[in-house]
Amino acid sequence: MPLPENYELVELFSADDIAQRVHELAARIDADYIKLGAKDILLVCVLRGACVFYADLLRTLQTPARLDFMQASSYVGQQSSGNLIISKDIENIEGQHVLLVEDIVDTGYTMQLLLKRLQDRKPASLKLCSLLDKAAARRYQVPVDYVGFSAPEKFLVGYGLDYNSYFRGLPYIAELILAE
């Protein structure tokens, strides 16, 4: 897929906005895991969209974190029965404090299935941190424990989010407007 020829990027969250928010989130997460009595966190990056956010969060957290990565996608069958394909899985999580780091929760479909699947593996705790939350688009209930920003129902790119794999490297988050 080529880069679209005519498009406009409308900045919604600047690099400074994001950096500030990452610090606020990390401080909250540190405080919460102290209360939880967790000595460390298994910080799990949901590939690929969360990669930039994950790297920044990891470097801001004070709580010792071990890293892992997973990749999952969901397909809705014709009878609206869901299926989750995990193409990259994580190691044994039993007894561990797992914090999933996601780019954006939209309908909530993927995260709802993924959280359920991981919960069955008996982690000590399982929480979700999402950079963006399109709450108005939610169709499946997902508890998002930590939200970076509430997002409008627009198509967003940058800071890890992509359109056909492009725009992930933008240091800010923008609405992508494709010309007719």
Q: Where are the alpha helices (DSSP H) in 15-131?
A: 15-36, 51-60, 109-119
Q: Under a CB-based contact definition with an 8 Å cutoff, are residues 124 and 95 in contact?
A: yes
For residue 9, the minimal CB distance to ligand IMP (Å) is 12
106 flagged as catalytic: yes
Q: Exposed, middle or buried by CB within 10 Å (0-12, 13-18, 19+), for 54?
A: buried
Residue of 109, 115, 129, 159 that binds ligand IMP (CB under 6 A) = 109
> Which partner from the list Mg ion, ligand IMP, none does 156 bind, CB cut-off 5 to 8 Å by kind?
ligand IMP
Residues 6+ apart with CB under 8 A from 102: 46, 49, 50, 111, 128, 129, 130, 131
Active-site pick, 32, 106, 120, 162 = 106
* Per-residue binder mask for Mg ion (CB under 5 A), 3-42, x = binder: ----------------------------------------
> Which partner from the list ligand IMP, Mg ion, none does 61 bind, CB cut-off 5 to 8 Å by kind?
none
Indicate the pairing of strand 97-105 with strand 41-46: parallel
Q: Does 107 bind ligand IMP (CB under 6 A)?
A: yes
Nearest to 98 by CA among 128, 70, 76: 128
* Per-residue binder mask for ligand IMP (CB under 6 A), 1-40, x = binder: ----------------------------------------
Residue of 13, 18, 49, 126 that binds Mg ion (CB under 5 A) = 49
Q: Under a CB-based contact definition with an 8 Å cutoff, are residues 10 and 174 in contact?
A: yes
Nearest to 72 by CA among 46, 109, 90, 52: 46
Annotated catalytic residues are 106
Which residues lie near Mg ion (CB under 5 A)?
A: 49, 103
Binding site for ligand IMP (CB under 6 A): 49, 74, 102-111, 155-156, 161
